[in-house]
Amino acid sequence: MKNLKPFFYENSIFPRLLAKIAPINVWAVSIGPFVWCRGELSDITKQHETIHFQQQLEMAFIAQWILYFTFYALGRIKHGSWKEAYYQNPFEKEAYAKQDEKDYLKNRKRYSWLEYIR
């Protein structure tokens, strides 16, 4: 499973549409085996979204999204800010913390996002 990569779609309208209902300006989004991006994907964004893809794989996709939105909702209650809730989400914390580490996905342990729960 570690070697699996999502399918990347660049110059997609999907993130623009999602940004109309999301509280953040969506550049790229990983849902299931697909990553859609508004423009061209940098290596850092590919790594970030592939980390999300791995998180989804290890949780059978649906469970990860349920937990993602649960952490987001709890973050909104705790912090009051949608932006802070987004950045404090353990799934995002792992992806942002490791998006620059080139070998991270080769060595990533399953459920590594658990280390980012406070």
* Assigned domain for 43 exists: yes
Task: Please list the pLDDT of the chain residue by residue as tens digits (118 residues).
Answer: 778 899 999 999 999 998 888 777 889 999 999 999 999 999 999 999 999 999 999 999 999 999 999 999 999 999 999 889 999 999 999 999 999 999 999 999 999 999 999 7
The tally of domains found in the chain comes to: 1
Assign 3-state DSSP to the chain and report helix, strand, coil percentages, each to 5.
55, 10, 35
Is the residue at 88 inside a domain? no
Structural domain harbouring 15:
7-63+93-109
Please check whether residue 16 lies inside any domain of the structure: yes
Query: Given this model, what pLDDT does residue 70 score?
Result: 97
Nearest Cα residue to 71 out of 95, 48, 47: 95
Predicted TM-score (pTM) of the model is 0.94
